[in-house]
Every structure is written in structure tokens, then in C-alpha cells.
A and B are shown apart, each in its own frame.
Chain A
Amino acid sequence: MKNMAMKELDNEIIKERSKSIRTKGRQSQPIQCEADSVAGCVSQRACVYCGARVVLNPITDAVHLVHGPIGCASYTWDIRGSLSSGSDLYRYSFSTDLREEDIIFGGEKKLARCIDELVERYHPGLLLVYATCIVGVIGDDLGAVCKAASLRHKIDIIPVESAGFSGNKSDGYRAACDVLLRMIASEEAVPKKDNCLNYLGDFNLAGEAWIIKSYLNEIGIHVNVAITGDSTYDTLLEAPSASLNIVQCAGSMGYMGKRMEQIYGMPCMNISFLGLEDTMDSLRRISSFFDNYFISSRAEALIKREYELYAPVVESCRARLQDKKAAIFVGGGFKAISLIKQFRELGMEVVMVGTQTGREEEYDTIHQMVTDGTVVLDDANPSELETFMLEQGADLLVGGVKERPLAFKLGIAFIDHNHERKHPLSGFIGAANFAQEVYATVCSPVWRYLNLDGI
């Protein structure tokens, strides 16, 4: 398979897609990204609604009402691993469940009735109404319905402009950030709190935001609010009172950080708590921002303790994983970059890197990081993943639910790096979990038995 003739390979790739596939060292033009998906290519991307839902859904005490036919609500019902320390209202799936007659006569009245019912039953402080493809097309005025309902019930009822066709997942992130910005906007100046930051772009999957909060708390920094992992309406409103924004998932929340910098003059720092190196580096950068001897010394003590605890775990896995080959296909470019570093920590070679919605500058960074011969793809489809994983001899794929069965059918190990996972991958403990998960799949005995001539 490795020596697959180029001609044969050409047949596997749709012509229009070839600009979005680059082999480092072979092609010099930059990769095409941030473009619409090519029809019929079986893109792994979702839609605007999906992006908005990912970002906003972890707000635990909000009613998340999907205005549209039932499918959009059904496919996003409690599929993500965000944890809550309080309300579990966010795990409910609420839908206006539009039917044929609503499409003909419009869905505004039904939406208003649904809002009334939900407010009466659950008494939320915040109700978000997500637009789906159909809403704009049938001409429902979401803004007007929400505004009227908001006045009627005296709570925040905010429309999310997330019609599926109006862009890709990244546009959904942006729509979600706009909702958050609108929500936290206040006419009064908010007093600043000391040694206090907002933690953007962590959705508290399997308690990841809790890990980071405990680290920061220990070194004397207060996490004002994580946006949006385990957040509530009230804690989000406090966001302007912090003195720094740190951003984990830049793909979804980089925009929010930038906007808050413009509006509130709040500095913004991209950090990463994925992997030992990035975690240590991030803790040090955050400490130095606050320029406080006690914070810095406590940070060093924490780093020393945690590193000594978890580095041996990573090290023992590394010994078994040395020189194995990893393929990456994840949502955003920032996560891909972190993963390349993490595989390096494990002594593994990265042979393929792809993302659904990576940005140009992220692909530049990826290009600089990887070695010659590594294939980089944007918005890849199953055929391309199959072709390049086999061609590159990958031992492992990191990806999401849709990619998992493909890897397994190809006899390739797999780890989940998606919103559905049930164990944390952040911080020191997360780096150890990651190493152990990679070890458990790559070094599993099952691969030894995958031969077809046993009988």
C-alpha cells in the first residue's frame, strides 16, 4: 500500500479537493482552507447550528430551545460530556418540533407558546433559542418573538443566529460568542476583581475545567468563570470583572477573547492545558502575567509536584510507543497543534494532520511543526483519511465518533478527542490519561490477531 502509484492515488482524490491536501516537502503552495465543503465528498464537518450548540450548551441552568424540525434537537440531545456542578437543565433537549403546518403558516406563534411553557415549567434565568436552516427560509422573526417573550417574562431570551446552511461550524462558534457578548454587555461599569481571570474555550468535558480551576485556585488565581464549561447565567454576567482572559480552544473562543479586549480592554492570552509541556508553560505564563511572587512560587511548587506525579506515567507509555506513527483528524487547528506536541512527548511521529475547520495561520504553524512527508489536509473525507492513513502507515488515529469505526476497520488504533469523551485530557492528569489511552489502544493485543488466514 505504501508504494501506491500516484496515478492510482489521483483516482482517490476529487480534483477540487486537491488544493486542500498538502504533503510537506512536496508541494509549496499554501493549503486551501476556510472554504465551503465540496458537494458529494462526504465531508466530516457539521453545520453552523452545531458550532453554536457546542459552545453554548454547557451553560447549565439555561433552557436551550431548538426552533426547527425535531432532528436538529434529537441529534444534539445530551451527546456531549460537559459536566455540571449544579443544574442539569442543559442536558434536556427542547424543540419546537416544527411540522408541515408550521412550515406553511410560520412557526412564530408556536415558538412563543413553547417559550411560555418552558418558562412556566422550569423558571430559567436564561433561555436561548437556536435557529435552524428552516427558520430563515420560512421567514420567522426570531428576534421579535424573543424580544416580546423577554419583556413578557422578564428574563433574558436570546436568539442564536445558527441557520445550518449559513456557513460552517466556525460561523456557529462566532454566532455563539456574539450571544455571549450581548448577554454580558452592561451599561454600568463593572468593578474589577483582584487576581481573577476568565477561562475561555473549555467546556468542562469530563471535568476538565474543574482540573484547571483547581490548579489556578491553588496558586492564588481565581477563575471568575469558565466560558462556557459548568457556567451559569449569573456567573457569565460577571465575565467583565476579570482582569485577564485565557483561551484554551482558540478555534471557538479566540474571537470572544479579541472582542472582549476591544470592548473591555481585557488582555487575552492563548494557552493550552493539553500535554505536560503546554500545561507547565501555560501555568508559568499566566503566573507571570499577574507578576506576583507568591503566585509564581506556588505555581512552581504545583508544577513540581504534579510533574513528579504524572511524568513517570507518560514516560512509561513513551517507552512502549516510541516511533509509532500517529494520524490526527480533529475539529480545529489549535487542537491539532497541541496534539502534535503531545505525540512528540510520547516519542511518536505524526504522519498525517487534518482538521475540519482549521484557519490559515494554524495551518502555517502545523506546516512548520511537522516533518517532511507528513500529509496535511483540510476538511478531509473518509476516502482521503483511508487513503492517507494506509499510505503513511499510521498506527493510530485521533479523531471523533465518525472516524472511529473507519480506523478500526482499517486495523488502526484510535483515541477519542471529541466532546463525547468521558475522561479528562487536560492538565497533568489529563496528559497521563492521554498517554495511557494511546498506550491501551496502540499496544492492545487485539491487533496481533487481525489476520484472515487463521482458518
Chain B
Amino acid sequence: MTKQNRVRNVTENPCNMCMPMGAIVPFKGIENAMIIIHGSQGCATYMRRHMAEHFNEPIDVASSSITEQGTIYGGENNLKKGLENVMQLYKPELVGILSTCLAETIGEDLGRTASSFTREQGEGFTARLVPVSTPGYGGGHYEGYIQALYSIVVQLSQKTEKHDRINVFVPHISPADIREIKRILELMEIKYTLLPDISETLDSPYIQPYRRIPAGGTPLQEIEAMPGARATIEFMTMLEDELSPGKYLESEFGVPLYRLPLPMGIEACDELLRVLKKLSSKAVPEVIKKERGRLLDAMVDSHKYNGAGRAAVFAEPEVLYGVTRIMAENGILPAVLATGSKSPALKKLLQSLTADCDEKAIILLDSDFVSIQDHCANRKINLAVGNSDGRFISEQVGIPLVRIGFPIHDRIGGQRILSVGYNGTMMLMDRITNTLLAEKLSSYRQDMYQSLYKYPSAAANDH
């Protein structure tokens, strides 16, 4: 092996989940929507389990339960029967139909099945069916999310009269993050259609009686009317044009597009507020200015502690970029940056973002956790930020983990973690700084005793 990064075939401890998993999320953010996965029964069950443990919410996703018969003779009848049963049990206004590796490989045509099903149901059938091709081998959960979001917009939006809302597209961020973005929009008195809006559906309050499809989510009518919006904000700067719903609305219907990074870090938040100021006739209200001021104050308060941080970050592209920005602004070294996605645009963005850092960042696309762990050792990492799959690294080499993103399986409240806006940036920073402090305070007496009193010559040799 002469090359430093040898090319491996095997994936060890994956950063990726599969495409249909990611595609479930946007549909969960649409009002009164349900999902059916066209594949073997296990796919839906595994994904439900994975999401239920993160959100602490019931995650109902149907399956067409393809069996051996269906694999040989085709699964169309299974899917149609499945759709009928979903209609009876959930009475949704919209059903997302997602394919799997199995369905794609045996050549199932979701679009054809959806239209013939609609036809067969007759005039009384008003539910909208949105088929999305999401073979498990076609990409990771990030790509599945993007594919579903794009398909929803392309299949549902219709030429509409102009109205005064703006469109807002978000990547997979927490319900708490979405609530914060909505709060900022409302403070700026901007009317909006935010898609997908999982802020209520995947973090629903206790209510009685129980609703099988929780309240909330983006209303179907508003998605249909997206072409009439006066602008689009897309919090995804690394999307290729052909998968960007904002680009689609711009080129097809002339809706002006603002592509912004997630508001994580002072500069990205400012950038958002400047755009919102332009879209609103209103000045930035005092309450937001104070939040900004408090963030600046917090940055100064914690900057010396942060200077000791050497971080590995692993997340989906936009969140990874956002966390890296916060680190770069606050003197934490973003040393190892990894994602399961292959996004080429991300690499360039991260390179320019970290260009001024003291050491060159290692950027790992299409990565797995064993690669991340190997690099953590090389770069003397003392802080990990990412989803709970990183706990393995914490457990094995003792690097503390600040949890953000999806999934978070070993702590409660993944759906309530706030990391966007001035407030969210400050809260994420506090979590990071306090983790560094806790690490230092838990051992510094012992460390100093060992290095200065017991073995002083060893310490001298180190320097």
C-alpha cells in the first residue's frame, strides 16, 4: 500500500443509511400524508425503528410486503392492495410511494402503478400519489431526502397566481431547528411555505385523542401554489441544479432563488437576516438584534476554551458545513470533516471555509466510521461532533461526542436539539465548549500531577 488513503471495498461502521430512509422524512413533513415503501416488509420496519428511536414518536410507514411470489411475478398487486389498505386505515390526502433495491431491480414501475391505481379508484378518489425512485443502492439517506423533496415539488406544484408567500426549503434538520427558522420568519413578518415542515409532525405535543397522522406539516395546497411565490430560500448550497427544487421553480416559473447555507454561525445568520430584510419591508426587530448581541458576547466569553478544541465532525452535508463554520469562527480546529454523501460541491466549500485554519482539514466524502476513527488518531482529535453513531469512537478511544443530526439513539430528545439561528448557534457552541471544559476539568489535576510532579522529564521531552 503506497497510497496513504488506500481504497477499500468493504464499508466498516457506515455513515450512510439508505435512500428510502432519507425519503421518508420529507413526506413526514407534509400535512396529512402517509408513506408506503414498495419492497420487502423488513425495509419499512427497520426504517421505522430507526426513526422512532430518534424522534420518540410513532413512525407509521406502510410496506407493500413483497414476498417470493411478488419477486418472481411482479409486485404491482401488492402495491395496489397496500395503497387501498393505507387509504382505509389512515385516510391520507397524499401518499408517498418509495421504491427499494428489490422493487427497482425486479423492474417495478411506480409511476405506472400509481396512475393505474388512481384510475381504478374512480372519481371519488382525491388523494395525491407521489412516487419516488429510491433504490437502496442509488445513494445514501441524504440523496434520498433530496430526491423526495425534489419529486414532491416537481410533481405537485402548479402554475398559480402570484401570492405574497415565499418558499423555504430545508435540509434534514431537527424539528426544533425548523421552529426556530419559522420564528425568525414570523418576527420578520414574512409569510412562507416551508417544506418539509416536520416541526409538529415529528415532535408532536401530547394530545387526546391520538391522531394516527399527527397534526402539522406543510399543507398540500401551499406546495401546489409554490410557483406563485415571490421568492424561494433554499438552505442547501451544495445541491446540483437538477436536484434543486428552488432551481426548478426559478427556471420553470421564474421564482427568484436565494441559496443560503443553514443559519449556523454568525456570518450565515447575518446572511439570512440580510436576505429577509430585503424580502420584508420591516427592519430587523430588537429581539433578534439582542439575540445576535448575546451570541457575540458568548463567542468572546468562550473563545479561549474553544482554542483547545481539535474536532472531528460527521453529519449530512449542510449540517456538516454549518458546524464547520461555527468552529472556524470560534477558533476550534475543524480537523477531520466527514460525511457519507459523495457531494463534490461540499468538498470545495469546506476547503475554502477552512483555508485559513492553522492546519489543513482532512475531508472525507463517502466515508465510514472506521476511516474517521483512523484519522482521529492521526490528528490528535479531542472532540467529536455528529450523530450518535459516533459513540463507537467515543467508547473505543475516549473522544467525547457532542450529539447533533440524525440519528441520535443513545440520548433522549434528538428532535429538540436546537442548532440554527443566533440562539441555536449559541446553544451548540455552549454544548461544544462545555464538553471541552468537562473533559479538561475531569482530569487536569491528575494530568498535571503526572506530567509535572511525577514524571517531569517526560513532559519536558514532549515539548
Q: Give the distance in Å from the alpha carbon of A65 to the alpha carbon of B18 in the complex.
A: 17
Q: Give the distance in Å from the alpha carbon of A402 to the alpha carbon of B212 in the complex.
A: 14
Q: Give the distance in Å from the alpha carbon of A382 to the alpha carbon of B59 in the complex.
A: 10
Enumerate chain A residues within 8 angstroms of B40, measured Cβ to Cβ: 47, 133, 164-165
Q: Give the distance in Å from the alpha carbon of A68 to the alpha carbon of B14 in the complex.
A: 13
Q: Give the distance in Å from the alpha carbon of A42 to the alpha carbon of B207 in the complex.
A: 22
Assess whether B17 is in contact with A383, with CB atoms less than 8 Å apart. Answer: no
**Cβ-based interface call for A143 (8 A):** no
Assess whether A42 is in contact with B137, with CB atoms less than 8 Å apart. Answer: no
Stretch at the interface among A92-100, A146-154, A197-205, A370-378: A92-100
Enumerate chain B residues within 8 angstroms of A44, measured Cβ to Cβ: 45
Q: Which A380-428 residues have a C-beta within 8 angstroms of B?
A: 381-383, 386, 400-402, 404-406, 408-411
Enumerate chain B residues within 8 angstroms of A443, measured Cβ to Cβ: none
Per-residue CB contact flags for chain B residues 54-81 toward chain A (1 = under 8 Å, else 0) read: 0111111111111110110000001101
Enumerate chain B residues within 8 angstroms of A138, measured Cβ to Cβ: 105
Assess whether B16 is in contact with A70, with CB atoms less than 8 Å apart. Answer: yes
Smallest Cβ-Cβ distance to A47: which chain B residue: B42
**Cβ-based interface call for A304 (8 A):** no
- Known pairs A40-B82, A68-B101; A95 contacts B11 (CB<8 A): yes
Enumerate chain B residues within 8 angstroms of A73, measured Cβ to Cβ: 11, 14
Enumerate chain A residues within 8 angstroms of B21, measured Cβ to Cβ: 71, 75
Assess whether A452 is in contact with B392, with CB atoms less than 8 Å apart. Answer: no
Please tell me which one of the listed residues A45, A74, A383, A404 contacts residue B212 in the complex, with CB atoms under 8 A apart: A383
**Cβ-based interface call for A189 (8 A):** no
Q: Give the distance in Å from the alpha carbon of A38 to the alpha carbon of B78 in the complex.
A: 9
Enumerate chain A residues within 8 angstroms of B409, measured Cβ to Cβ: 79
Please tell me which one of the listed residues A70, A167, A383, A450 contacts residue B18 in the complex, with CB atoms under 8 A apart: A70
Q: Give the distance in Å from the alpha carbon of A198 to the alpha carbon of B403 in the complex.
A: 42
Q: Which A42-95 residues have a C-beta within 8 angstroms of B?
A: 42-50, 65, 68-79, 91-95
Assess whether B46 is in contact with A70, with CB atoms less than 8 Å apart. Answer: no
**Cβ-based interface call for B36 (8 A):** yes
**Cβ-based interface call for A41 (8 A):** yes
Q: Give the distance in Å from the alpha carbon of A14 to the alpha carbon of B10 in the complex.
A: 43
Assess whether A405 is in contact with B17, with CB atoms less than 8 Å apart. Answer: no
Assess whether B206 is in contact with A450, with CB atoms less than 8 Å apart. Answer: yes
Smallest Cβ-Cβ distance to B20: which chain A residue: A71
- Known pairs A42-B60, A386-B210, A450-B206; A137 contacts B105 (CB<8 A): yes
Shortest distance from the beta carbon of B161 to any chain A beta carbon, whole Å: 37
Residue from B10, B64, B79 whose CB has the most chain A CB atoms within 10 Å: B10
Residue from A75, A167, A410, A411 whose CB has the most chain B CB atoms within 10 Å: A75
Please tell me which one of the listed residues A43, A69, A92 contacts residue B136 in the complex, with CB atoms under 8 A apart: A69
Assess whether B101 is in contact with A69, with CB atoms less than 8 Å apart. Answer: yes
Q: Which B1-36 residues have a C-beta within 8 angstroms of A?
A: 8-14, 16-21, 36
**Cβ-based interface call for A168 (8 A):** yes
Please tell me which one of the listed residues B66, B86, B137 contacts residue A69 in the complex, with CB atoms under 8 A apart: B137
Q: Give the distance in Å from the alpha carbon of A383 to the alpha carbon of B85 in the complex.
A: 12
Per-residue CB contact flags for chain A residues 151-169 toward chain B (1 = under 8 Å, else 0) read: 0000000000000111110
**Cβ-based interface call for A6 (8 A):** no
Smallest Cβ-Cβ distance to B204: which chain A residue: A409
Chain A residue total in the interface (Cβ 8 A) = 74
Please tell me which one of the listed residues A40, A48, A133, A409 contacts residue B102 in the complex, with CB atoms under 8 A apart: A133
**Cβ-based interface call for B250 (8 A):** no
Assess whether A409 is in contact with B68, with CB atoms less than 8 Å apart. Answer: no
How many cross-chain pairs have Cβ atoms below 8 Å apart between A and B? 227
Assess whether A110 is in contact with B9, with CB atoms less than 8 Å apart. Answer: yes
Assess whether A402 is in contact with B10, with CB atoms less than 8 Å apart. Answer: no
Enumerate chain A residues within 8 angstroms of B61, measured Cβ to Cβ: 42
Assess whether A165 is in contact with B85, with CB atoms less than 8 Å apart. Answer: no
Enumerate chain B residues within 8 angstroms of A97, measured Cβ to Cβ: 10-11, 14, 16
Assess whether A75 is in contact with B106, with CB atoms less than 8 Å apart. Answer: no
Shortest distance from the beta carbon of A434 to any chain B beta carbon, whole Å: 22
Shortest distance from the beta carbon of B452 to any chain A beta carbon, whole Å: 36
- Known pairs A402-B45, A402-B59, A405-B58; A77 contacts B106 (CB<8 A): no
**Cβ-based interface call for B53 (8 A):** yes
Stretch at the interface among A113-121, A217-225, A228-236, A256-264: A113-121
Assess whether A164 is in contact with B102, with CB atoms less than 8 Å apart. Answer: yes
Residue from A117, A164, A386, A450 whose CB has the most chain B CB atoms within 10 Å: A164
Assess whether B68 is in contact with A47, with CB atoms less than 8 Å apart. Answer: no
**Cβ-based interface call for B48 (8 A):** yes
Q: Give the distance in Å from the alpha carbon of A392 to the alpha carbon of B136 in the complex.
A: 40
- Known pairs A70-B14, A452-B208; A99 contacts B137 (CB<8 A): yes
**Cβ-based interface call for A179 (8 A):** no
- Known pairs A75-B49, A137-B105; A43 contacts B14 (CB<8 A): no
Assess whether A50 is in contact with B46, with CB atoms less than 8 Å apart. Answer: yes
Enumerate chain B residues within 8 angstroms of A14, measured Cβ to Cβ: 85, 88-89
**Cβ-based interface call for B451 (8 A):** no
Residue from B57, B71, B138 whose CB has the most chain A CB atoms within 10 Å: B71
Assess whether B62 is in contact with A71, with CB atoms less than 8 Å apart. Answer: no
Q: Give the distance in Å from the alpha carbon of A75 to the alpha carbon of B18 in the complex.
A: 9
Assess whether B65 is in contact with A74, with CB atoms less than 8 Å apart. Answer: no
Smallest Cβ-Cβ distance to A418: which chain B residue: B49
Enumerate chain A residues within 8 angstroms of B236, measured Cβ to Cβ: none
**Cβ-based interface call for B447 (8 A):** no
Assess whether B137 is in contact with A100, with CB atoms less than 8 Å apart. Answer: yes
Enumerate chain A residues within 8 angstroms of B65, measured Cβ to Cβ: 36-40, 43
**Cβ-based interface call for A315 (8 A):** no
Shortest distance from the beta carbon of A353 to any chain B beta carbon, whole Å: 20
**Cβ-based interface call for B41 (8 A):** yes
Enumerate chain B residues within 8 angstroms of A37, measured Cβ to Cβ: 41, 63, 65
Residue from B14, B66, B81, B105 whose CB has the most chain A CB atoms within 10 Å: B14
Shortest distance from the beta carbon of A345 to any chain B beta carbon, whole Å: 30
Assess whether A78 is in contact with B392, with CB atoms less than 8 Å apart. Answer: yes
Q: Give the distance in Å from the alpha carbon of A166 to the alpha carbon of B40 in the complex.
A: 9
- Known pairs A38-B85, A78-B392; A43 contacts B41 (CB<8 A): yes
Assess whether B64 is in contact with A75, with CB atoms less than 8 Å apart. Answer: no
Q: Give the distance in Å from the alpha carbon of A76 to the alpha carbon of B47 in the complex.
A: 11
Shortest distance from the beta carbon of B85 to any chain A beta carbon, whole Å: 3
Assess whether A77 is in contact with B45, with CB atoms less than 8 Å apart. Answer: no
Shortest distance from the beta carbon of A158 to any chain B beta carbon, whole Å: 17
Residue from A14, A39, A110, A381 whose CB has the most chain B CB atoms within 10 Å: A39
Give the 4 A-B CB pairs with smallest separation, nearest first. A47-B42, A71-B18, A40-B82, A40-B85
13 residue pairs of the A-B complex, CB under 8 angstroms, read: A37-B63, A39-B81, A39-B85, A44-B45, A47-B43, A70-B11, A73-B11, A74-B18, A75-B17, A93-B14, A134-B137, A383-B212, A405-B59
